[in-house]
Amino acid sequence: MNASFVRNTLAALLFAGTLGVANAAPLTFNFTFDDPASTAQAVGSITFEDTLLLNPGANDFILPNPAVLALNVTVSGSASGNGTFTLADFNEIVFDTFGGTLDFGSQLVGQPTNGGAWGTPDGNSGDFNLFSSQNAGTSRYGTQPAAPTGSIAPDGVFFFTLGADGGAGEPMELVGMSVTGAAAPATLPIDRGAWFALAGLLALAGLLAFRGRAVRH
């Protein structure tokens, strides 16, 4: 094994690691749902894997799903169903741009789609919603339940509209959604064995360089 081979192998490993980092792109949005007729509000954040989030596109993620990495939402001011809920409390996430390409660097609500402004709860302007019930699919929006569906986690009851207390409580409409910051790189996707091999190559390269200097002297 010569020094040139070691250098080339080392460069290939480092390049592969760099590609792995570039391919992973978690994207976190802050969002707020608000009921204009009461004090009920749902505030939270959701993290998508940006490489799996279609934009434009109609994303319908049945959970668990590698496209949805994290979710936290706190309901307050409701007559019932207040509390903090996480990804484990939901079974479906919808994020639909209705043919528009949304600018993730700006406030999403109000951006143009192939219909109305994104965030308009009319069924013709896209959708973003969280579902804790089992009523998934295209017919997810039926009659708002008169009683919780089995969970006090909020549930989507209409386009861009989240119902407190399993959908039986106050209907809260999306009033704001924006990215918290630039996509953060993930941990290097190189396993422990590869790192040991890389360390060995570095040590070998150093040894060969030292021996080359000794021979020249």
Give the pLDDT of residue 123: 94
Give the pLDDT of residue 42: 98
Question: In the beta sheet, which residues pair with residue 96?
Answer: 58, 127
Residue 143 sits in the same domain as residue 61: yes
Residue 123 sits in the same domain as residue 196: no
User: Tokens representing 146?
Assistant: 């008169």
Question: Per residue in 48-106, pLDDT tens?
Answer: 999 999 999 999 999 999 999 999 999 999 999 999 999 999 999 999 999 999 999 99
Number of separate domains in the chain: 2
Residue 52 sits in the same domain as residue 125: yes
What's the rounded Cα separation, in Å, for the pair 79 and 95? 28
Give the pLDDT of residue 192: 42
Report the number of secondary-structure helices (H) and strands (E) in the chain: 2, 10
What's the rounded Cα separation, in Å, for the pair 42 and 165? 11
Residue 10 sits in the same domain as residue 38: no
Q: Which domain holds residue 95?
A: 25-179
Tell me whether strands 127-131 and 155-158 are parallel, antiparallel or unpaired. Answer: unpaired
- Three-class secondary structure of residue 51 per DSSP: helix
Residue 127 sits in the same domain as residue 196: no
**Residue ranges in the chain modelled with pLDDT below 70:** 1-24, 134-139, 143-151, 181-217
Taking the C-alpha atoms of 170, 174, 175 and 176 in order, what is their torsion angle to the nearest 10 degrees? 140
Residue 113 sits in the same domain as residue 160: yes
Residue 150 sits in the same domain as residue 207: no
Is the Cβ–Cβ distance between 88 and 70 less than 8 Å? no
Residue 117 sits in the same domain as residue 208: no
Residue 172 sits in the same domain as residue 78: yes
Residue 40 sits in the same domain as residue 128: yes
Residue 159 sits in the same domain as residue 53: yes
Give the pLDDT of residue 86: 98
